[in-house]
Structures are given as C-alpha cells and as structure tokens.
C-alpha cells in the first residue's frame, strides 16, 4: 500500500544554541521534501531570517500556521507556538530561550499525540535551562516516555549498522549498580530486540551486552554484577532462543571491533556506550528513543553554545535524524499493514 509522506514535527531546542542553525541547513536541501513533510514548531521568521543565503539561492519559504491540521504536503510548514518576540543572544542561554524550547516541544508533542504528525525530531535542549515548574525531566527521553505513557523506553544511538543502546540513561554513575536489576535488564533487552525487529526490519537480531565492571568483573574479582545479575539474565534469553550474548568487557569489545559482529550493543550506563559511539559517529549519529508508541529522533550532540551564531555548525547529525525518523515511520507502517495489503 502507498502511504503519504511522513509528517515530521521539528522542535527547535534551545534558541541560544545551534538548533535553529542545523534545522535551517537541513531544510535548505530541497530533496528533503521528496521524503517527508517538515513541520517546524516556532515562528519561522524569527528563527531563520537572520541566517545567510547563498548567492543566487532562494530564501526558505514557510507556510506559517496556527493549527497543524492545516499542514500542506510538499511544503515547509511552521506552527506558531509562541506570540512574543524573544530577545536572544546566541551562545547565552536564558529563561527566554529555555521557555521557547519547552513551548516548541510541548506543542509538537501535543500534535503528535493527536495524530497530526507521524514522528518528531527534536533539536538539542539544555537540560538545566529547560527546567520549569511544569517541566521536571532530565531530558527529552524521560519527558516523552511520561507524556506518551510508555512504561519504559530505551536510549538508542544509531549510525547505519552501528547501533548502541544504554540500559541506564541520565543517571549519576554512583547510582548505576543499584539501578541495574535483573528486571531492568530484561526490560531493556526486550525493548532492544523488539525495536530491531519492528523499527529496523531485522527478523532475528543478534545483540551483545557489556559488563559493568572492568574486564566484565574478572570472575567476581572486580565486582559481582556480571555474575549475579547480568549473566543469569543473558542465559535465560539464550535459553529462550534469542541471540543475546555477553557480558563483554567494554574496552576490548570496542577496541577490537567486536561490535561489528552484532546488530546492536547494549551498554549498561550512559558514557560506556556514548563515548565509543561518538568517537566513531559524532557527525552522523542519531539518538533514537526506542520503546515509545511514537517515533522520535534527535541529533547525538548538544546545544553547542560555544559555536552558536557563527554559522559553522555541522548539520549532518540532524539531517540523519530526519531521515532515520522517516525510515522508522515507514517501517512501523509496513509492520502494521495486513499481509494481504502488502
């Protein structure tokens, strides 16, 4: 069956960062309109009019809307989600830039829940600067899981065949061991297997799980988590017929390129997975939230206040996030179609 182009909401992130710039650079490529209908949440003139336009190139033209129900396919759309003129300085986060980030994200999330969008691509926010009385979340992932009623979710970094997920996310390192229970690990592995099957079309995924301690605990000498928690969970998955292996010492696993033998890797804490991933794919990597009932992607970098306003930001990661969102929307649509209709 033929489906219309995915309608992708784009939240603008912290306006003092590079979010508007990487969005602008991504939307400059007219080929994007052949794969999706972009919908930016913010006032287009305020966001993009100050950016330079190449010689002999046309400026971006948006259809500015009050209601996402009026989205026009094949056009650049923008939904007004604030009326005031924000006074902003690139590289200097403020209460105003944090408020605009919240308003953009909340408006896009509402429209996604209402079925007016097919997916969401989020530009970077400052976790500190976005906090408010009505927004107490450490990041996009936690907010979206709460907003869409997901019992759990999975931070999943993707660059083509390089895929790294994390069992625990934005959590102090001192709290990881206590949080890493057998139930949590089982939940994250199930989410990862399901996402690889439904979102990436891998019928029999093969995944690796890393150890928590140096040398994966060295048979208990350097820690008991691998023997007491990780190992028994993995053996049960193997017994049930899943291709789930480990726990592997993280340094050797990445250092020797062993990760290339698997469809995905499950790291046990944030930096264990994100440091090697960003070393290999920082300019192209995408942060995908698996386990949500909706599709959400994001670039794998932050607000980059230090280069904001200089027009030197690399938009590759944001562009990849848009294309991955399109791919996952299509994959989920195909998975939902009755076999007789395919």
For the segment 219-236, the average pLDDT, to the nearest whole number, is 94
1-150+292-342: which CATH architecture? 3-Layer(aba) Sandwich (3.40)
Q: Which of 298, 17, 26 is nearest to 140 (CA)?
A: 298
* Domain topology for 151-290: Isopropylmalate Dehydrogenase (3.40.718)
Do strands 7-11 and 119-122 pair parallel, antiparallel, or not at all (unpaired)?
parallel
Sorting pLDDT into bands at 50, 70 and 90, what band is 341? low
DSSP per residue, 135-199: B--SSHHHHHHHHTT-S--EEEEEETTEEEEESS-S--GGGHHHH--HHHHHHHHHHHHHHHHHT
CA distance 293 to 113: 10
The answer to whether 1-150+292-342 and 151-290 have equal CATH topology is yes
**Is pLDDT of 234 > 70?**
yes
Q: What is the pLDDT of residues 249-298, one digit of tens each?
A: 999 999 999 999 999 999 999 999 999 999 999 889 999 999 999 999 99
For the segment 219-243, the average pLDDT, to the nearest whole number, is 95
∠ at Cα 140 (10, 72), nearest 5°? 15
Whole-model pTM: value is 0.92
What angle do the packed helices 182-198 and 316-336 form, to 10 degrees? 80
Q: What is the pLDDT of residues 39-80, one digit of tens each?
A: 999 999 888 888 888 767 788 899 999 999 999 998 999 999
144 contacts 153 by C-beta, under 8 angstroms: yes
Q: Which of 21, 36, 46 is nearest to 297 (CA)?
A: 36
For the segment 216-241, the average pLDDT, to the nearest whole number, is 94
Burial of residue 83 (number of CB atoms within 10 Å: 0-12, 13-18, 19+): exposed
User: What are residue 139's phi and psi, to 5 degrees?
Assistant: 180, 180
pLDDT of residue 49: 83
Q: How far is CA 144 from CA 96, 140, 297, in A?
A: 22, 6, 11
CA distance 246 to 331: 29
Kindly list the domain boundaries of the chain, sorted by start residue.
Answer: 1-150+292-342, 151-290
Sorting pLDDT into bands at 50, 70 and 90, what band is 338? low
Looking at every residue in the chain, the average pLDDT score rounds to 93
Q: Name the DSSP letter for residue 31.
A: G
∠ at Cα 137 (96, 178), nearest 5°? 150
CA distance 278 to 24: 23
Give the CA-trace dihedral at 63, 68, 69, 75, to 10 degrees. Answer: 30
High-pLDDT (> 90) share of the chain, % = 80
pLDDT of residue 1: 45
Sorting pLDDT into bands at 50, 70 and 90, what band is 340? very low
136 contacts 170 by C-beta, under 8 angstroms: no
């Amino acid at each position: 069956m033929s489906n219309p182009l995915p309608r992708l909401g784009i939240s603008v992130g912290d306006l003092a960062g590079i979010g508007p710039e990487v969005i602008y650079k991504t939307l400059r490529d007219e080929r994007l309109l052949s794969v999706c209908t972009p919908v930016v949440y913010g006032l287009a003139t305020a966001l993009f009019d100050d950016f330079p336009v190449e010689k002999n190139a046309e400026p971006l033209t948006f259809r500015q809307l009050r209601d996402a129900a009026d989205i026009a396919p094949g056009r650049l759309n923008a939904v007004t989600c604030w009326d005031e003129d924000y006074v902003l300085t690139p590289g200097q986060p403020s209460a105003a830039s944090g408020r605009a980030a919240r308003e953009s994200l909340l408006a896009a999330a509402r429209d996604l829940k209402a079925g007016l969008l097919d997916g969401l691509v989020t530009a970077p926010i400052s976790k500190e600067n976005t906090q408010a009385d009505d927004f107490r979340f450490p990041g996009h992932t936690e907010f979206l899981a709460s907003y869409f009623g997901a019992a759990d979710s999975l931070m999943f970094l993707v660059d083509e065949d390089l895929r790294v997920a994390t069992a625990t996310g934005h959590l102090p390192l001192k709290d990881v061991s206590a949080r890493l229970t057998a139930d949590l690990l089982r939940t994250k592995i199930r989410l990862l297997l399901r996402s690889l099957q439904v979102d990436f079309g891998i019928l029999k995924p093969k995944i690796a799980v890393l150890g928590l301690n140096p040398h994966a605990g060295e048979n208990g000498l350097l820690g008991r988590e691998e023997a007491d928690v990780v190992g028994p969970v993995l053996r049960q998955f193997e017994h049930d017929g899943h291709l789930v292996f480990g726990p592997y010492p993280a340094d050797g696993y990445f250092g020797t390129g062993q990760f290339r033998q698997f469809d995905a890797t499950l790291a046990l804490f944030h930096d264990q997975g994100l440091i090697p991933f960003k070393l290999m794919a920082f300019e192209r990597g995408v942060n995908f939230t698996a386990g949500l009932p909706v599709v959400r992607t994001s670039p794998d970098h932050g607000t980059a206040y230090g280069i904001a306003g200089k027009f030197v930001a690399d938009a590759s990661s944001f562009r990849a996030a848009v294309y991955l969102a399109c791919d996952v929307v299509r994959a989920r649509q195909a998975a939902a179609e009755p076999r007789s209709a395919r």
